[in-house]
Structure 1
Amino acid sequence: MNTADVAAEVKCLRRLIGMRCSNVYDLSPKTYVFKLMNSSGVTESGESEKVLLLMESGVRLHTTAYVRDKSNTPSGFTLKLRKHIRTRRLEDVRQLGYDRIVLFQFGLGTNAHYVILELYAQGNILLTDSEFTVLTLLRSHRLVSDNLLMSGMMIKGLQSCQGIDILLKFAEFFERTTTAKLQETLTSFKEPENIEPVNDDENNMSDKAQKEKQGTHKGGKSSDLSKNASHGSRAKQVTLKNLIGEALGYGPALSEHMILDAGQIPNMKISKNNRLDDNAMQVLVHAVAKFEDWLQDVISGDKVPGGYILMQNKNLEKDRSPSESGSACQIYDEFCPILLNQFKTREHMKFDTFDAALDEFYSKIESQSASWSVSTSEGMLTTGLFLVYGL
Structure 2
Amino acid sequence: MAAYDAAYDCDVLVIGGGIVGLSTAYAITRAAPGTSVVVLEKEPGPARHQTGRNSGVIHSGIYYRPGSFKARFAVQGAAEMVKFCTEHGLPHEVTGKLIVATDHAELPRLHALVQRGRENGIPVRELGRAQIAEFEPEVRGIGAIHVGTTGVCDYGAVAARLALLAQDAGASVRYGAEVRVIGRRGAAVAVRTADGAVLRARALVNCAGLHSDRIARLAGDDPGMRIVPFRGEYYELSPAARGLVRGLVYPVPDPAFPFLGVHLTRGIDGHVHLGPNAVPALAREGYAWRTVRPAELAGTAAFPGAWRLARRHWRHGADEIRRSLSRPAFTAAVRRLLPGVRADDLIPAPAGVRAQAVLRDGTLVDDFLFASSPRMVHVLNAPSPAATASLPIGREVARRVLAELR
TM-score normalized with structure 1 length: 0.24
Instruction: Find the structure with the greater CA-based Rg.
Output: 1
TM-score normalized with structure 2 length: 0.23
Structure with greater helix share of residues: 1
> Per chain length, whose mean CA-contact separation is higher, i.e. which structure has more relative contact order (CA < 8 Å, sep 6+)?
2
Structure with greater strand share of residues: 2
